[in-house]
Structure 1
């Protein structure tokens, strides 16, 4: 169950702010086992059709499976159990609120090792979970019921598979590593998130997005195929390759990984990426060309001078601009904006704009955007910075996007999609909660620009159902001490419920709201004490795509091996 992970961006250079609190910012050689020179791949890897399963039935299905290469050359497997001095070092993911106690942590380096580990777990009746980057916001990999934790971090190869005419990315590769390798080798990129330490494993499967998504769509709009370790009804574990080819008998498994979330169908051991409709064999033309330079504009205002009119005006204007400039093909589709509002205790409100500096009229578009967001408001910035920098510099800056403190990182994130601007009632609720006495300095919210090319894809073409949206809203709080858990959780839950009070405390799909984003998982949506709408969590995340996801679940995980607090349930018999 690869963990879900986010598509957020990082704070601007030189601005002292809580890093996860400010998502925006400016957010050769096939490195590692991917090969030794641009355009090459490791011997015996991608494209080899070799059975990986452990039974005769799986051996006969060799055309479905892909070898991970010579196991002798792969890292691991390494098994770490309680009592081993390495155990505590490998136990935690990114959110220190959640710490499991598995019987073993299996560190794996190849698809074959994953198959064996899953086989052993199933045979022994032990619950298994999978971690690639470790950025899951909930306890999917730290559930006390998990007995075997698979650590995929050594599986971080990025390279080009000439046989499939697609780029191969293993789940343990961080986004920063993916961007560096694709740029160095071929000058291309993907529209993924701006936190470079997030792992591809969960980010891709959940429908990752980032600073280039308004221009190029979601990451999964470029997903050609997946390799997934699944478990058959008889308990046999095997690796299956599924692609978007219309005649692929496993195409439904590919579709489920285009936004169906990590941890629902099996263990992803490899992704292949190629933009739809491209032709030829030149790798440099098979994914979007990476920008050469990024223009970033940052404006920060002090809360000391923010009135209710100013705050709600910024939110309203930001939303209106996105309503008007988020159609596919819009000249503004290349502009990515984020409005970050800390709680008053945090002291600042920030607007960030990013754009490919070499797009026509890039500078004037940024100026026009900032003017539209501040129109009619009497605001004097405390800081106003406009910089142009190499695109790769911002997208791979180490450490950006990490929450809180190095010793204790604790946070709670909630989210919602928006089809248009917040209502006046919602705007009043936002101001009320950002100025109350219970929020902390690392609490607040963000509005993140979305839409553009994302809206060019039909809701059923991928598992991402929320295609007719223009923004994502994020509500968050970050703290450092376990003793502060209760107060922080109460604040962010109260904030969220207040904003969506008219729809049972959650963003029920409608004229304004459109559910939530599975890569920002929030177990509260499945809790009737928090979600009083009567609309189930799976509708908020997947809308009309959920029944199809259930059918995929029934076919590829008939034993329900892969599950977590927000997992896709098998269809009810009847």
Structure 2
């Protein structure tokens, strides 16, 4: 296989080294998106930073593709490859909380469910995603949009430091003082610059929230979107909320005769004083009659995991996305044409607000450049049957084509598909050239290229 053999690799690694000859191989090569079916030469199930260093070195020395897998949720399947090396960090899920400093350090394979479980015990949290099985690493490296973003900023805005294995196999501690250029690039630049083995975040006091989903009739969708646009523009920053098109799942709070029908939802998260939550959400109830809701006080981790069952491993995935400065009437009309056609219960469209605290960070302060965007839209096509791939992929593409003229040119890298590589420059806007310089410094050979790639 080259300069280093699999036997050499096994000698250097504490975790399991899995090859196609091993019984664990079929399970080890799986990723979240069942549309991705690749056969790596070796999967290194890392249990510490030394294992990651060994996997990176093995790929480099043998001139093999290298995929770094955290939560494995990458829609384009960047957590795997054909005939290359997978550094699987899913065995590295520890989270250590320092309640005095209000920080938490999460290992590179931790999920937001792992993170929230650890921090909630201390009444603390930081901005995570919408699904708790999402990896901390992938979400943060791309920016990190979630329920708490309007009040706390993006996940990457709360990053304090990181441990990074670079292309030369060195482990670096990076922060504002040490390797500040790399620290800047990690905050939104994706997995282009190294394998991050741990992330340290600042935390804020968030224990219980008031929120949940509210379902409205499709005939009221225009009113809901227009009212949401106005409400969220200057709402208190403790309010995180987003509209969504969604087929009603068979849940007890939804009338049984409405299961399987499409609705427009507002999913809200009030992170201020819980006793103020009902009043904070009242404006949404005044837009139109609510068909069904599951709203009330709950632990923040409960809301962050509320939709996990809709996105189990093994679905087919195809997504598209754009940033939006203003949710114009024309954009709303495009959503009203395509949103109600959401094909299955797993598929959805979310319009996340990224104003508030997100706007108080300068566009060049981190790699995440779209600080003027008010919304991040994702058309998340997810379905169980591969026989529906052509039709459902067409729905995503047609929806995207209808909304793109009313959006900014770039989109959130975490929502990009595998056919979006030509959008890299616009996705980073004014930060792209600086990112190229950092890439040249830390990965001139582009070892870390299985991502939305910034070529050196």
Shift in CA distance, 316/394, structure 1 to aligned 2, threshold 3 Å: closer
Question: What's the counterpart of residue 256 of structure 1?
Answer: 185
State yes or no: 1:182 paired with 2:89: no
Distance 1:432 1:295 in 2: 32
CA gap 1:431/1:394 in 2 versus in 1, 3 angstroms: closer
From 421, 432, 435, the equivalent of 1:549 is 435
Query: In the alignment, is residue 153 of structure 1 matched against residue 90 of structure 2?
Result: yes
User: What corresponds to 1:244 in structure 2?
Assistant: 176
Query: Does residue 1:538 correspond to 2:424, yes or no?
Result: yes
1:412 to 302, 308, 318: 318
Residue in 1 aligned with 2:417?
522
Tell me the SS of whatever aligns to 2:413. Answer: coil
Alignment of 1:122-521 (within 5 A): 122-144=60-82, 147-160=84-97, 166-184=103-121, 186-232=122-168, 237-245=169-177, 248=178, 250-262=179-191, 264-274=192-202, 287-291=203-207, 293-303=208-218, 306=219, 310-325=220-235, 332-342=236-246, 346-356=261-271, 358=273, 361-371=276-286, 374=287, 379-396=288-305, 400-401=307-308, 403-404=310-311, 408-424=314-330, 426-434=331-339, 439-440=343-344, 442-500=346-404, 502=405, 507-509=407-409, 515-521=410-416
Instruction: Please name the residue that 1:25 is paired with.
Output: none
Residues 1:336 and 1:165: Cα distance change in structure 2 (over 3 Å): closer
Q: Would the alpha carbon gap of residues 430 and 391 (structure 1) be closer, same or farther in structure 2, given more than 3 Å must change?
A: closer
Contact 1:179 1:396 (C-alpha < 8 Å) held by counterparts: no
Bigger helix share: 2
**Whole-angstrom CA distance in 2 between matches of 1:386 and 1:251:** 42
Determine the C-alpha separation between the residues in 2 that align with 1:301 and 1:396: 22
Paired position in structure 2 for 1:121: 59
Gap change, CA 1:385 and 1:124, over 3 Å in 2? closer
CA distance in 2, matches of 1:396, 1:488: 25
TM-score (norm 1): 0.71
1:468 alignment partner, SS class: coil
Shift of 1:322: 2.5
1:543 shift after superposition: 0.8
Secondary structure at the counterpart of residue 160 of structure 2: strand
Could you report, residue by residue, the CA deviation over 1:129-187 in whole angstroms, capped at 9, with x for unpaired residues? 1101111011212343x511111111112115799995321111111111111232x43
Of residues 336-345 and 467-476 in structure 1, the stretch that sits farther from structure 2 once superposed is 336-345
- 1:355-378 Cα offsets, whole Å, 9 max, x none, are 12516743212102443xx2xxxx
Give the distance between the partners of 2:275 and 2:369, measured in 1 at CA: 32
Distance 1:269 1:94 in 2: 20
Secondary structure of 1:271's match?
A: strand
Q: TM-score, normalised by structure 2?
A: 0.88
Task: State how far apart, in whole Å, the 2-side matches of 1:266 and 1:563 are.
Answer: 10
Query: In 1, distance between residues paired with 2:114 and 2:311?
Result: 23
The alignment's C-alpha RMSD in Å is 2.8
What are structure 2's unaligned runs of at least 5 residues?
1-10, 249-259
Structure 1 residue runs of 4 or more that deviate by more than 6 Å after TM superposition: 161-165
**Greater percentage in strand:** 2
Q: Secondary structure at the match of 2:414?
A: coil
Question: Residue 563 of structure 1 aligns with which residue?
Answer: 449
Are 1:322 and 1:471, in contact at CA under 8 Å, matched by a contact in 2? no
Query: Which structure 1 residue ranges, 5 or more long, are not aligned?
Result: 1-71, 275-286, 326-331, 510-514, 527-535
What is the distance in 1 between the residues matched to 2:212 and 2:48?
Answer: 42
Q: Secondary structure at the match of 2:213?
A: strand
